[in-house]
């Protein structure tokens, strides 16, 4: 796969239809806790642990228009594109994972 280093691997998570439009689901892959979000036919994956106080972002709300995921605990929202928080109290970015959608399946790229 172009642009993906040889040290990374692609892991099959689920069928596309197992994640509803506008929702988020948590997966754990090789110790990586990952929040996978679907917005229409686009899929995004960011680290599931809030960088502020270690709460699960996949329990928060998807802001589809903004392409952000809100931490339910204190309300920071994180960009699904960059992983950066867009408001306080969180100040540090969470990891962002590349996604691949192929043959109706959703896969995540783990470095
Ligand atoms: S734990 Fe997420 S904003 Fe505080």
Name the residue of 47, 55, 57 to mutate for ligand 1: max ligand atoms within 8 A of Cβ: 55
**pLDDT tens by residue, 41-78:** 999 999 999 999 999 999 999 999 999 999 999 999 99
Does 5 score more than 90 pLDDT? Answer: no
**pLDDT tens by residue, 72-87:** 999 999 999 999 999 9
**Residue 11, in any domain of the structure:** no
DSSP string covering 24-69: EEEEEETTEEEEEEEETTEEEEEESB-TTT--BGGGSEEETTTTEE
Ligand 1 closest atom vs CA 72 = 2
Domain residue limits at 77: 19-100
**Residue 5, in any domain of the structure:** no
Percent of the chain with pLDDT strictly greater than 90: 92
Ligand 1 closest atom vs CA 50 = 2
Model confidence at 7, in pLDDT bands (50, 70, 90)? Answer: confident
18 SS3 class: helix
How many Cβ atoms sit within 10 Å of the Cβ of residue 83?
A: 19
Give mean pLDDT, residues 29-37.
97
Instruction: Please identify which residue in the block is written with the tokens 């036919």.
Output: 41
Give mean pLDDT, residues 26-34.
97
Number of domains in the chain: 1
**Residue 108, in any domain of the structure:** no
**pLDDT averaged over every residue in the chain:** 95
Give mean pLDDT, residues 27-32.
96
Task: Say which CATH number the domain at 50 has.
Answer: 2.102.10.10
Nearest 10 degrees: Cα torsion 48, 50, 53, 58: -50
The pTM of the full predicted model, rounded to 2 decimals, is 0.93
């Amino acid at each position: 796969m172009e642009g993906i280093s040889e040290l990374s691997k692609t892991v099959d998570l689920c069928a596309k239809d197992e994640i509803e439009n506008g929702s988020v689901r948590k997966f754990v892959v090789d110790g990586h806790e990952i929040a996978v979000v679907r917005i229409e036919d686009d899929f995004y994956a960011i680290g599931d642990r809030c960088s502020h106080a270690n709460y699960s972002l996949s329990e928060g709300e998807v802001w589809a228009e903004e392409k952000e995921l809100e931490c339910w605990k204190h309300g920071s929202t994180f960009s699904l594109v960059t992983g950066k928080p867009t408001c306080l109290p969180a100040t540090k970015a969470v990891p962002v994972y590349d996604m691949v959608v192929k043959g109706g399946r959703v896969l995540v790229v783990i470095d």
